[in-house]
Structure 1
Amino acid sequence: MEDKKTDHRVRYTKMVIKESLLKLLTERSINKVTVTDICREAGINRNTFYSHYANQFELLATIENDLYEEIKQLGINSSDPQKLSYELCKYIKANKTICEVLFSEHGDKELLERILYISHDLTIERWKQELKYFDPQLFESWYTFTAHGSIAIIKKWVSSGLKESPSKVAAFIDKATEAVSKAFYSEKS
């Protein structure tokens, strides 16, 4: 019984620490947040913080990696890139608070790119099947272009308060990606 109580306390403490960092990141970048700031916000002492994390950067990396792994599961469970864009937008909307912070100017600039590259292999494979030729360099450039366009749309959506529905944002991303794809299909068919 004592182990369950301890586990619960540890999980609760980590949750409070993470929430405190996220709150501070709404105000300033990680480079301007100290462990003391996090501890003050969380109402814990520094020893408690250091029993779980080495510093504020490790804490942020843990939060980002947890988010990434959750989203990665969406990609693993989806064989359709269009379904994945909807699932991603739905996930972002459902996890609005954390995504608003992590995808903001105070978050990791490369996190959203890492997330969108989850579907890289799936998308490239689909293009290979749909087209009669395969040019690895062209497909990489094509994916980079569509991924970065998607990143811009998602960042704009998140920064404007996620007002549109996930299905509307995903449909726009899919439609824009399809428009680019059609240009390649007609050019190489």
Structure 2
Amino acid sequence: MADLRKLRTQREIQQALADLLLKKTFSKITVTDIVNKALINRNTFYLHYRDKYDLVEQIMMTMVDQSSFSINEFNTTPFYFLRSISNETSDLGHQVINRQRADSEFQEVVLKTILKLVMTDADSSNSQIWFTFGKISAIMAWNNQHGYYYDIIQDADQLQQIFDTEEFPNLTE
């Protein structure tokens, strides 16, 4: 049985990060901010996480583990995969995602975590996975260039269509 103190401390750290993510962008949050919000010692934080990126990675891994969508389906329908995880997220999770949408550092840690999860479940020599991430990165960069015209969750159908057809829509019409 897991140590209840350890679980409680991890929950407090995760809640502190979530609260901060509602107020500041991820790129502006420091470990000092997190430990001050969680009312813990800095060393306690480092007993549980390497840094703030590891903290987000652990939260994401838990979310994916609890999701009903298979990580194997990511390769063919990545935007539906992301929407599925979001749909199973709490109201707080939705608020955090909406607040952090434009923070490229947050997007990067999320994509790296998903890549890590996919690579753990797949053969790393499978070049299709790398092309999938390349296409996602291109679509996200295009979307960023157009002021986040498509919401990654609400517009998953349109983003998945771009992924499938490999054609960007003309947004000037």
TM range (shorter): 0.5 to 0.7
* Equivalences for residues 5-44 of structure 1 within 5 A: 7-25=3-21, 26-30=23-27, 33-35=30-32, 37-44=33-40
**AA partner of residue 148 (structure 1):** A
* Equivalences for residues 69-108 of structure 1 within 5 A: 70-71=63-64, 74=69, 76-78=71-73, 81-82=76-77, 84-95=78-89, 96-100=94-98, 103-105=101-103, 107-108=105-106
What's the % identity of the aligned pairs? 19
Task: Call closer, same or farther: CA 1:106–1:90 in 2, change over 3 Å.
Answer: same
Task: Call closer, same or farther: CA 1:79–1:102 in 2, change over 3 Å.
Answer: closer
Number of aligned residue pairs: 150
SS in 2 for 1:27: coil
Maintained 8 Å contact 1:116/1:151: no
Partner residue in 1 for 2:157: 171
1:49: Cα distance to partner? 3.5
Provide the aligned C-alpha RMSD in A.
4.3
Unmatched segments (≥5 aa) in structure 1: 126-138, 182-189
Maintained 8 Å contact 1:85/1:174: yes
TM-score by structure 1 length? 0.54
Unmatched segments (≥5 aa) in structure 2: 168-173
Maintained 8 Å contact 1:89/1:170: yes
Distance in 2, Cα, partners of 1:61 & 1:24: 16
**AA partner of residue 67 (structure 1):** M
Distance in 1, Cα, partners of 2:107 & 2:136: 17
* Equivalences for residues 40-189 of structure 1 within 5 A: 40-46=36-42, 48-53=44-49, 58-68=51-61, 70-71=63-64, 74=69, 76-78=71-73, 81-82=76-77, 84-95=78-89, 96-100=94-98, 103-105=101-103, 107-114=105-112, 115=114, 118=118, 124=128, 140=131, 144-150=134-140, 156-157=150-151, 164=154, 169-180=155-166
1:68: Cα distance to partner? 4.6
**AA partner of residue 144 (structure 1):** G
Q: Whose radius of gyration is greater, 1 or 2?
A: 1
Maintained 8 Å contact 1:17/1:38: yes
Higher helix share: 1
